[in-house]
A and B are shown apart, each in its own frame.
Chain A
Amino acid sequence: MMIWSKVETMSREEIEGIQLDKLKKNVSYVYEKVEPYRKKMDEAGVKPEDIKTLKDLSLLPFTTKQDFRDYYPFGLFAVDKSKLARIHASSGTTGKPTVVGYTKKDLEIWAECVSRLAVAGGATNEDICQICFGYGMFTGALGLHSGLENIGACVIPSSTGNTEKQIMYMKDYGSTLLVATPSYALRIGEVACQMGLNPKTDLQLRTALVGSELLTEAMREEMRKLFGDKLFVTQNYGMSELCGPGVSGECRELCGMHINEDHFICEIIDPKTGEVLPAGEKGELVVTCLSKEALPLIRYRTRDISRLFYEPCKCGRTTARMENLSGRTDDMLKIRGVNVFPSQIEEVLLKTEEIGPHYEIIVDRKNHSDILTIRVELAPAAMTDNFADLERITAKLKASLRTVLGLDAIIQLESPNTLKRFEGKAKRVTDNRKGKD
């Protein structure tokens, strides 16, 4: 497997040298150009010249999602609007969207970052890449689009929607690489089967670059079952605030996501105290952008939970790796006092053969007690003519959930194809408790 850039194989000293050099310049740049951040630094009593080593990064204040709301739309930008080459925005399901901007140089670096991750995941200049991310304000589609074009691959910008037509393109044009959310990839496979195709033999997909929502190992296994062993699935990480996809991505060794360290510095902090944790410990991921002109965020709190590893990888890359996410701090549900990540529930559900891969999690509060309900679809192969078998399936699920979560759940069995399907980020959790305390 090829490595796209020589930066990915530099020694730790070389990488850290680049990081320190860029960090110093960037902090001065932000202090000068971004008023809200200058205020934060002044309040914290830090000046750009205080940054002498990489460790001094911890002196700097955090940037948060709230800052995007407070300084909407362009308050965190370091360049004048006239210098912008593109604007993207996050979906903004609650309140105003998060607006992000790019200069021409930002777009070039972004494409370069994505190219590295795509190549690490197995993309080559011969691939025919079907991008089934929604185009538009969302950074995912155009991010992968530019990165894949940059390596010389052919791109089919098919976006989301009309899944049957997507599959027709895939089959007729011989797509070899799929870009999608894990849940949409599964949906595509499912619809292909309903159309009478065998995704293993009728499609030529061999690489999937998934992102924009959590990929659990069980989900990866589910994709392999649907599309066959020839499909190699890797995930990559990013968020619109940081550039979009392009911060980090898995290589074929599947041992965490390689970070583009010459453009981003990652730290892990204790989300409660804000203290930096040593390598290998689990906590909230905080990212500092080193190369961005338009939106150079410093110590952005991602609310994603991960760990960092610095040992060189078997693939030949020496860049630090972040562990595949185990959840987001704001996805965590507190049910009867127990912390629950939807990904934990998903792992249990996907390991249970008698049910399909789609599910919904509903949390209610009745008589001051939390009630966890999980809706799942009975797999057609598990159909039975007696209640005892159905009871066995729900009892088995309940027992496994109890082992993993320490909680009792209500299991609702549904017919196949009755639960909602998603083309973009899946929304499988409904918490009906808000405001009922």
Chain B
Amino acid sequence: MKQLTVFIENRPGRLGEVTEVLTENNINIVCLSLADTSDYGMLRMIVSQPAAACDVLSSSGFPAMLTDVIAVKLPHHFGQLKKLCGKLSAADVDISYMYALTSGEGAAIVLKTSDNEKAESVLSDEYTLMGAAEVYNL
């Protein structure tokens, strides 16, 4: 599954411009995470058409790229995230970053790890992994 990452300077209106480009091209934002430093921000998103979104943003002057991530359904129960983290660290997989995703009634997370393939195999017996097509169409 591809995540779209966009570099934006901390300047009023920049985030609005990104969403404008996406709206004009009929691209839906499924979920996002926006992190910032004092000078610039990084917008990480799951969108309906990642490759097309990356092209239109790049040609509109926004540095954009696609990164492999995984999406995992997480039951709405106490202690679930702790358990998931424990499984990954036991397998020696580092979590680079994560953010939440709503999937109908349940919860889910988007994860970028040091080894996505390993993370998927470690988690697959107990968790439901979400396919790219499923997530893009949420």
Question: Counting CB contacts under 8 A, is B127 at the interface?
Answer: no
Are the C-beta atoms of B97 and A413 separated by less than 8 Å? no
16 A-B Cβ contacts within 8 A? A383-B5, A385-B44, A385-B112, A386-B42, A386-B97, A387-B37, A387-B42, A390-B7, A390-B40, A390-B42, A412-B39, A413-B40, A415-B61, A415-B62, A415-B63, A418-B9
Q: Which chain B residues border A387 with CB–CB below 8 Å?
A: 35, 37, 42
B48 neighbours in A (Cβ, 8 Å)? none
B23 contacts A by Cβ under 8 Å? no
A380 on the B face (CB < 8 A): yes
Query: Within A393-427, which residues are at the interface with B (CB < 8 Å)?
Result: 412-418
At the interface, yes or no: A384 with Cβ under 8 Å from chain B?
yes
Report Cα–Cα, A379/B112, bound state, in Å: 24
B contact residues, total (Cβ < 8 Å): 21
1/0 per residue, CB under 8 A from A, across B51-62: the answer is: 000000010011
Q: Are A385 and B9 in contact (CB under 8 A)?
A: no
Q: Which residues from A are CB-within-8-Å of B35?
A: 387
Q: Are A383 and B61 in contact (CB under 8 A)?
A: no
Q: Complex Cα distance A414/B40, Å?
A: 8
Q: Are B112 and A383 in contact (CB under 8 A)?
A: no
Q: Write out the residue numbers on chain A whose beta carbons fall within 8 Å of the beta carbon of B97.
A: 386
A123 interfacial contact with B, CB 8 Å: no
**Do residues B42 and A378 form an inter-chain contact, with CB atoms below 8 A?**
no
Query: Is the CB–CB distance between A385 and B8 below 8 Å?
Result: no
Determine the distance from Cα of A417 to Cα of B62 in the docked complex, in whole angstroms: 9
Q: Flag if A385 contacts B61 (CB, 8 Å).
A: no
Instruction: Say whether B3 contacts A414, CB under 8 Å.
Output: no
| Leading 5 A-B pairs by shortest Cβ distance | A385-B5, A383-B63, A385-B67, A383-B65, A417-B61
Q: Which residues of A contact B37 (CB under 8 A)?
A: 387, 390
User: Residue B47 at the A interface, CB < 8 A?
Assistant: no
**Chain A residue with Cβ nearest B65:** A383
Further pairs besides A385-B5, A387-B37: 11, Cβ < 8 Å: A378-B63, A383-B5, A383-B64, A385-B67, A386-B96, A387-B35, A390-B7, A412-B39, A413-B39, A415-B8, A416-B63
Report whether A380 and B58 are in contact in the complex, using a CB–CB cutoff of 8 Å: yes
Residue of B nearest to A194 (CB): B59
Q: How far is the CA of A380 from the CA of B9 in the complex (A)?
A: 14
- Is A378's CB under 8 angstroms from B7's CB? yes
CA distance A412 to B3 in the complex (A): 25
Q: Which residues of A contact B61 (CB under 8 A)?
A: 415-418
A residues in contact with B39, CB < 8 Å: 412-413
Pick the residue among A384, A414, A418 that contacts B65 (CB under 8 A).
A384
CB-CB under 8 A from A386, the residues of chain B are 42, 96-97
Q: What residues on A are CB-neighbors of B5 within 8 Å? A: 383-385
**In the bound complex, do residue A413 and residue B58 qualify as a contact, i.e. CB atoms below 8 Å apart?**
no
In the complex, are the beta carbons of A415 and B7 less than 8 A apart?
Answer: yes
In angstroms, Cα B130 to Cα A168, docked, is 50
CA distance in complex: A415, B5 (Å): 13
Interface string of A80-117 (1 = CB under 8 A from B): 00000000000000000000000000000000000000
CB of B19, distance to nearest CB on chain A (Å)? 15
Cβ contacts under 8 Å, B63 to chain A: 378, 380, 382-383, 415-416
Report yes or no: B40 in contact with A385, Cβ–Cβ below 8 A.
no
Instruction: Determine if B9 and A415 form an interchain contact, defined as CB atoms under 8 angstroms apart.
Output: yes
CB distance from A380 to the nearest CB of B (A): 6
Q: List the A side residues contacting B112 at CB < 8 Å.
A: 385
Complex Cα distance, B44 from A386, in Å, reads 10
In the bound complex, residues from chain B placing their C-beta under 8 Å from that of A384 are 5, 65
CB distance from A14 to the nearest CB of B (A): 58
The CA-CA distance from A408 to B112 in the complex, in Å, is 34
> Whole-angstrom distance from the CB of A375 to the nearest CB of chain B?
10
Give the complex CA separation of A384 and B8 in angstroms.
Answer: 12
Considering the complex, give the chain B residue whose CB is closest to the CB of A412: B39
- Taking CB atoms, residues of chain A closer than 8 Å to B40 are 390, 413
Taking CB atoms, residues of chain B closer than 8 Å to A385 are 3, 5, 42, 44, 65, 67, 112
Complex CA gap A380/B67 in Å reads: 15
B45 to chain A, nearest CB (A): 11
Contact with B along A230-241 (1 / 0, CB 8 A): 000000000000
Bound: A412/B8 CA distance, A: 12
In the complex, chain B residues whose CB is within 8 Å of the CB of A413: 7, 9, 39-40
The CA of A254 and the CA of B37, in the complex, are separated in Å by 45
State A396–B130 Cα separation when bound (angstroms): 39
Expressed in whole angstroms, the Cα–Cα distance for A414 and B37 within the complex equals: 13
| Alpha-carbon distance between A420 and B39 when the two chains are bound, in angstroms | 19
- Tell me the complex Cα distance, A385–B7, Å: 8
What residues of B have a CB within 8 angstroms of the CB of A390 in the complex?
7, 37, 40, 42
In the complex, the answer to whether A414 meets B9 with C-beta atoms within 8 Å is yes
Flag A356-390 by CB within 8 Å of B: 1 or 0 each. 00000000000000000000001010111111001
Task: Tell me the smallest distance from the CB of B112 to a CB of chain A, in Å.
Answer: 7
CA–CA, A418 and B62, complex, Å: 10
